[in-house]
Structure 1
Amino acid sequence: MSSTTLRVAILVVSTTASRDPSTDAAIPALKSVLEESGKWTVVETQIVTDETAAIQKQIKSWTDVEEDNTVNLIVTTGGTGFAVSDITPEAVSELIEKPAPGLVHGMLAASLQVTPFAIMSRPVAGVRKRSVVVTLPGSPKGAKENLQAIIKMLPHACVLASGIDSRALHAGGVKKLEKEAGVADAPPATPLSNDPSLGPTRRNRASPYPMLSVDEALQKIEDFTPGYVEAVRPVNEDLVGHVLAEDVFAAEDVPAFRASIVDGYAVVVPKGDSSQTESGTFSGVFPVVGVSHAAPDEGKVLKAGEIARITTGAPLPTGANAVVMVENTVLQSLTDDGAEERDVEIRAANVRDGDNMREVGSDVRKGQLVLRKGAKITAVGGEVGLLASAGVQQVTICRRPVVGVLSTGNEIVEHADRPPLGLRLGEVRDTNRPTLLLAAQEWGFDTVDLGIVVDQPQTLEQTLRDALRQVDMIITTGGVSMGELDLLKPTIERAMGGTIHFGRVAMKPGKPTTFATVDVKQARRDSVGESVLSGSTSHSTRRVVRPIFSLPGNPASALVTFHLFVLPALHRMSGEHPRGLPRVPVALSHDFVLDKERPEYHRAVVSVGADGILKATSTGGQRSSKVGSMRGANALLCMPAGPEPLKAGAKVDALLMGNVRSEL
């Protein structure tokens, strides 16, 4: 049997996911591992409840069949922990005919290098009939890591289990088998971050993380930042800033009745006539027989030779088919009590059927597309008014993520602390947290102030875990460089089982910027207490991916990297396009010195003069710790690395953080 024809089935054991398959994230995670290897075809996926009978019935349906229909590998995910409902290992063990403790040991060994909590896992592996069966954790990240730990060895196990001649398979020795499996001289899969328990003498002296370009880092953010979550919201001012998750159609005609567009008099114009006299005028003295404000007298039918006073937006009386503006009329007589008009003279040219009125649905027809999926609701664009006028009561939107901001460091103190005495030696006022909170709010995102946490591993871990229950994304500053107290990377990677997608970027400022994701178990409810589209109850749980951006501690670096990296991730999570800062070409107003090794994101002021050309002026010294370099800046200039300065007038791209200034 060729290893390229191996068939695999995936079984998710989860009562919650069996009720609402949208809560499952394990199947796509496992598919990605299998498809990347190029040796597997996923032939079937199933989700069953946490019940022994359901688990065993499904596995038997894949193993206890004719040979041609047998799958080579069955991977289960879920139910391997210590919870009362976790019975997958017991259910699978009863079916196993040949245990495979080596596969179990391989998974545990790999997991223990990621987190000590792997000791709580209870994996089972072995052979039933001609199929290899492996149980994986319920966490998509844990399931993926466990499968990755043994994936290169599984083809060999599956081929042997299928009944192939083992003597022929093993001809050539172990080295040949290792080469075919792609494990010859393979480096161990260990975390790159420092192990804080080993002390300062055993830490890395240089960053072990590959240096990515800015474009590569942005692609990682695009690839691993979770997408938006849908939520249903009423049509009101709270929609501003949200993006529609689906097309919206009018619930009723607009207008819903034939309405006047001017103040004047409703009249009856003979069909097909443009006038009532040879001179082309609609003139004469007519009795006023009614008044139309909010609603006309439905029992009254306006006849030829009669008129009714009408206000802008009011319904036309039955029988009326045009409106003459009040400016083209003259009051002729009053009622006996003098309170009302009796007769009005009309002097209007070329009055036609349909003049000065709107037909039913002339603005919007019922069922007509009014706003497309992806449209952003703005405060100035009239989208809320359009939805309200079309009778739309609620819409499905991309919920905007809630952002938590955390400062780290023993030296960091609240900016308002100890004003009479000043700072103690080594203390630094926290400027990053209020700055980043305001930046996120300026872009329309709700924020949570997570405070300051000291450089202590357990305290940092607990703070992050607590924060992940409150927010959709965490931004931290500080603790990402190479010092012995830079604990963000090891805490995320080793203690929390997160994945660090990049830990260094070739840029100035912001070189140690770190982007990671962590899988967490989250209640199936909206962050602000409103229901999300899941089909499950509000008490069910699901695993979700939470991004963590660990930004440098220097103030300018933190704000630059927020706009360059965090903002595109927030836009992705809220369904916005395009993502990130808008990019425009500008001309340099003076010479700019370049960094010789790294591209620089230079803080600048972009303005436009009478000639219409956008010009950029530096805000001054660009040292990453110099918070003043951000004062007044409305743009980041994308400056290349180079040995010579760029001369005045040279064109570069600018990323706009704010409105362009006017020199006029």
Structure 2
Amino acid sequence: MSLSRPGPVLRAAILIVSTTAAQDPSTDSADAAVRDVFETDGGGQWTVTDSAIVGDVVAHIQRQIMLWTDSRREGEGDAVNLIVTTGGTGFAVADDTPEAVSPLLHKDAPGLVHGMLAASLAVTPFAMMSRPVAGIRNQTVIITLPGSPKGAKENLRAVLRTLPHACLQAVGANSRALHSGGVRRLEQEARVGSGAVDGHAHAHHHGHDHGHSHGHGHGHGHGGLVRHTKPSENPKSNDPSLGPSRRHRESPYPMLSVEKALELIKEHTPAPEIVAERVGSALVGAVLARDVKARENVPAFRASIVDGYAVVVPRDGDMKGVFPVTSVSHAAPGEAAALKEGEIARITTGAPLPPGATSVIMVEDTVLVSMTDDDKEEKEIEILADNVKEGENIREVGSDIRQGDLILGKGEQVSTSGGEIGLLAATGVAEVQVYRRPTIGVLSTGDEIVESSRPGDLRLGEVRDTNRPTLISAAEERGYEVIDFGIASDKSGSLEEHLRQALRQTDLVITTGGVSMGELDLLKPTIERSLGGTIHFGRVAMKPGKPTTFATVPVKDNAGERVSKVIFSLPGNPASALVTFHLFVLPALHQMSGISPLGLTRVPVTLSHDFPLDKARPEYQRAIVSITKDGTLSATSTGGQRSSKVGSMKGANALLCLPSGLEPLQKGTKVEALLMGDIRSSL
């Protein structure tokens, strides 16, 4: 595409975001409305080269946008110059277009957003219910329009004539050449503003070219809080270089439900890796990644199931009489002489039958007749059995497990009871394919945090590190290898160094502290701005644990391949940290380990007393669940539930899933509980 000034033809793409239209494209009318604006108001500078329809799903929106924006960079032809989306910019539960688009933007364009909102507000005050975003990804300008055809046309018309200039700059045009002649010339060429030459121009001019007068103190950019994003437009962390006075005064991250947060964790947590592991005690807790078949028959030989005498049964089955004991067969390996009719061999449980033997007579069905001369062995035995059949008291080859039988299936977990280990060992399986269990890194943050074991009294403001040893214990109890990365100070360089080291050595990193809104809360900025990570959520509508953060960071593995690693930044309060570990981190660990279902086991319980509720947020109260005399599960609170109260976790074996509400839940109410430990007996 030529970058010369007069009228280059620019490529546009239209993305319709609508689950209804994705299921039935005939219901969509926004595509035609947007095309009409390009044709009638675009001055012949636009050609719509692509269009698509996707449902109200963040991943689908992002995938289509990246297909259009990243193709030039990947050497797959020209990317489009402009993408306009329609739909999903309102307040409805499924309206997630801004949340899908914002993380993709490399540069924000708040001026375009202001222009679209201003145009719509001139028509209706309800325009303030729209949440548009705009910006640049690679060399493509992206704007989001409302889903209604009327609203989409109004918003696009408000900015369309300025977009060729924006698109030319985005693809690398010479800015000096583009701006020669000043703003007046740009307005004339775009047919907007005071220099416009058609009927859309404003008749009044304010006496300055830029509209940003510097001659009086109330000009733009002087005084007041400088906020670079709005929570609904651009959920990005603070820029620490701007200083504390320019940090966000409220979180820029949307408040997600616990269910939505868990969906994002499931979507962005890496799939499990398959490895070979030797059969032994280290296998306990692992999940099989492949079906396992028996390598050998069990038993591998014909064996006696009782202590007694191996015999050759005559045709009539009559075994009554006195017989010489010609040999002895023990469970120890060895060769046995062939047995003939009329001879018997003493045999122990589990021992192989002598060749020729067809049945085993229990010792209880015999009487000792005589001993050998040295009085050490049986010489003759009287058998009291008749009607004896072949195969009695014999375990045949492969009667327990046959070679090639499926003994353990993909997805089964090796338990601590030892049964699976014994089964594998018995059938000659020495190695199995399992999902590798991730290694976890645990890190505390904060200048106020000191080692819990440090001797002496605490100085004013110091806090002993309770989270790190607690989380390490919780993860190790679940069978995961944990590396302790100590305490990082509230300095970007220190935190970045600790995180990089943890990401190099582990698969999943857990941090605590530094995720709120203070000027020293550097976790989110460090993840996004220093590590190039993506924060998938930074706030959850729950108590405790609202500032819980989940992110992924691209890292090169030992083979030089780029992989995604997970960071959970948990709140600093002890109860919040442990609750969110069980609620959010554990499902991710399960997914990486191949364990299903993900997360804690849910059971119905009955409240043993009244439980107060939080007025605004659902709460995960720490409780003790026990089994009553009638076999039901009863839940009792562990006491005060303040997030900083360490004692609220003492003895807790469950988290009660309580809704928000103004009135307490009454004794006897049934709720769901997430089991963190074994159920106790109240008997």
Q: State the match for 1:360 in structure 2.
A: 397
Distance 1:385 1:152, change over 3 A: farther
- Structure 1 segment 289-368 matched on structure 2, within 5 A: 289-294=326-331, 298=335, 300-348=337-385, 350-368=387-405
Residue 571 to residue 73, structure 1, CA distance change in 2 (3 Å): closer
User: What secondary structure sits across from 1:601 in the alignment?
Assistant: strand
Other-structure match for 1:492 = 527
| Cross-structure match for 1:662 | 681
Mark the CA change 1:190 to 1:610 in structure 2 (over 3 Å): closer, same or farther.
Answer: closer
CA deviation map 1:9-64 (0-9, x unaligned):
xxxxxxxxxxxxxxxxxxxxxxx7898328969xxxxxxxxxxxxxxxxxxxxxxx
CA distance in 2, matches of 1:633, 1:296: 53
User: Which range is displaced more, 372-381 or 570-579?
Assistant: 372-381
Q: CA deviation at 1:321?
A: 1.7
Could you say what secondary structure the match of 1:573 adopts?
A: helix
SS of residue paired to 1:580: coil
Matches within 5 A, 1:128-167: 149-150=138-139
What is the aligned partner in structure 1 of residue 219 from structure 2? none
CA contact (8 A) 2:13 2:80 kept: no
Q: C-alpha separation between the residues in 2 aligned to 1:623 and 1:101?
A: 52
Residue in structure 1 matching 2:551, options 509, 516, 533:
516
Shift of 1:348: 3.3
- Provide Cα deviations, 1:272-312, integer angstroms capped at 9, x if missing partner: x6x31xxxxx4221111111124676572211111111111
Contact 2:602 2:675 in 1 (8 A): yes
| Counterpart residue number, 2:452 | 415
Q: Which of 1 and 2 has greater Rg? A: 2
198, 218, 240: which one pairs with 1:196?
240
* 1:405 aligns to 2:467 (yes or no): no
Counterpart amino acid of residue 364 in structure 1: I
1:207 pairs with one of 251, 256, 262: 251
What whole-Å deviation, never above 9, does each CA across 1:462-490 have from its counterpart, x for those lacking one? 11001111111111000000000000000
Tell whether the 8 Å contact from 1:321 to 1:354 is kept in structure 2 after alignment. yes
Deviation, structure 1 residue 453? 0.7
Show the counterpart of 1:612. Answer: 631
1:287 and 1:342 in contact (8 A); partners too: yes
Contact 1:263 1:312 in 2 (8 A): yes
Q: So what's the TM-score if we normalise by structure 1?
A: 0.71
Question: Which residue does the alignment assign to 2:132?
Answer: none
> Structure 1 residues 100, 359: CA separation in 2 closer, same or farther (over 3 Å shift)?
closer
Structure 1 distance, partners of 2:79, 2:290, is 49
Aligned to 1:565: 584
Q: Structure 1 residues 628-637 or 345-354, which shifts more?
A: 345-354
Q: Deviations over 1:600-630 (max 9, x none)?
A: 0011111112111111111111000000011
What secondary structure is seen at the aligned counterpart in 1 of 2:580?
A: helix
- 1:417-432 matched pairs, under 5 angstroms: 417-419=454-456, 422-432=457-467
Distance in 2 of aligned mates of 1:306 and 1:253: 29
> Match for residue 410 of structure 2?
373
Q: Cα offset for 1:100?
A: 9.8
Judged with a 3 Å threshold, the aligned counterparts in structure 2 of structure 1 residues 3 and 467 are, in CA distance, closer, same or farther, namely: closer
Distance 1:323 1:227 in 2: 54
- Distance in 1, matches of 2:271 and 2:488, equals 29
1:348 maps to amino acid: A
Alignment match of 1:650 (pick from 643, 660, 669):
669
Aligned pairs for 1:215-614 within 5 A: 215-270=259-314, 275-276=317-318, 282-294=319-331, 298=335, 300-348=337-385, 350-419=387-456, 422-523=457-558, 540-614=559-633
Q: What one-letter code is carried by the residue in structure 1 that aligns with 2:355?
A: T
Instruction: Give the Cα separation in 1 of the matches to 2:347 and 2:290.
Output: 40
Q: For 1:554 and 1:296, how far apart are their aligned partners in 2?
A: 63
Structure 2 residue ranges without an equivalent (≥5)? 1-10, 16-58, 83-102, 109-134, 143-156, 171-228
Alpha-carbon spacing, 1:645–1:111, altered in 2? closer, same or farther (3 Å): closer
Secondary structure in structure 1 of the residue aligned to 2:529: helix
Q: In 2, Cα distance between the equivalents of 1:601 and 1:649?
A: 18
CA deviation map 1:525-569 (0-9, x unaligned): xxxxxxxxxxxxxxx332221110000000001000100001111
Contact 2:512 2:571 in 1 (8 A): yes
Q: What's the CA shift for 1:351?
A: 3.2
One-letter amino acid matched to 1:444: G
SS of residue paired to 1:345: strand
Q: Is the 8 A contact 2:81 2:139 kept in 1?
A: no
Amino acid at match of 1:372: G
Cα distance in 2, alignment partners of residues 216 and 305 from structure 1 = 78
Contact 2:331 2:349 in 1 (8 A): no
1:111 Cα deviation from its structure 2 partner = 8.6
After superposition, where does 1:168-179 map in structure 2 within 5 Å? 174-175=160-161
CA contact under 8 A between 1:270 and 1:353: conserved in structure 2? no
1:36 aligns with 2:63: yes
Deviations, residues 108-164 of structure 1 (Å, cap 9, x unaligned): x989769xxxxxxxxxxxxxxxxxxxxxxxxxxxxxxx99544678xxxxxxxxxxx
Task: Work out the percentage of aligned pairs sharing the same amino acid.
Answer: 61
- Inter-partner Cα distance in structure 2 for 1:294 and 1:358: 13
Distance 1:652 1:110 in 2: 40
Q: What is the alpha-carbon distance in structure 2 between the residues aligned to residue 612 and residue 606 of structure 1? A: 12
For 1:597 and 1:661, locate their aligned partners in 2 and report how far apart those are by CA, in whole Å: 32
| 3-state SS of 1:243 partner | coil
SS in structure 1 of the partner of residue 554 of structure 2: strand
Counterpart of 2:681 in structure 1: which amino acid? S
How far 1:493 sits from its partner (Å)? Answer: 0.7
* Distance change (3 Å), C-alpha of 1:100 and 1:627: closer
Q: Work out the CA distance in 2 between the residues paired with 1:346 and 1:519.
A: 78
CA 1:367–1:430 in 2, change beyond 3 Å: closer, same or farther?
A: same
Instruction: Using the TM superposition, give the Cα deviation of residue 337 of structure 1 relative to its aligned residue in structure 2, in angstroms.
Output: 2.3
Write the distance in 2 (CA, Å) between the matches of 1:596 and 1:454: 35
Maintained 8 Å contact 2:235/2:254: no
Query: Does the Cα contact within 8 Å between 1:113 and 1:190 map onto a contact in 2?
Result: no
SS in 2 for 1:468: helix
Counterpart of 1:469 in 2: which secondary structure?
Answer: helix
SS at 1:244 equivalent: coil
User: How far apart in 2 are the matches of 1:581 and 1:330?
Assistant: 61
Query: Which of 639, 650, 653 matches 1:631?
Result: 650
Note if contact 1:110-1:189 (Cα within 8 Å) is conserved in structure 2. no
In 2 relative to 1, CA 2–289 (structure 1 residues): closer, same or farther, beyond 3 Å?
Answer: farther
Question: Contact 1:193–1:489 (CA<8 Å) still a contact in 2?
Answer: yes
CA offset digits 1:236-272 (Å, max 9, x no partner): 111001000100111111111111111211111246x
Q: How many residues align?
A: 509
Deviation at 1:418, TM superposition (A): 3.1
- Cα root mean square deviation, aligned: 3.4
Q: CA separation in 1, counterparts of 2:458 and 2:334? A: 78
- Give the gaps of 5 or more residues in structure 1: 6-31, 42-71, 78-91, 104-108, 115-145, 154-170, 277-281, 524-539
Aligned partner of 1:357: which letter?
Answer: I
Cα distance change on mapping 1:292 and 1:425 into 2, 3 Å:
same
CA 76–641 in structure 1, closer or farther in 2 if over 3 Å, else same: same
Residues of 1 paired with 2:460 and 2:61: CA distance? 55
Which amino acid counterpart does residue 259 of structure 1 have in structure 2?
Answer: A
Q: Distance in 2 between matches of 1:225 and 1:100?
A: 30
State the TM-score, normalizing by the size of structure 2.
0.69
Pair 284,152 (structure 1): closer, same or farther in 2 beyond 3 Å: farther
**Partner SS, residue 665 of structure 2:** coil
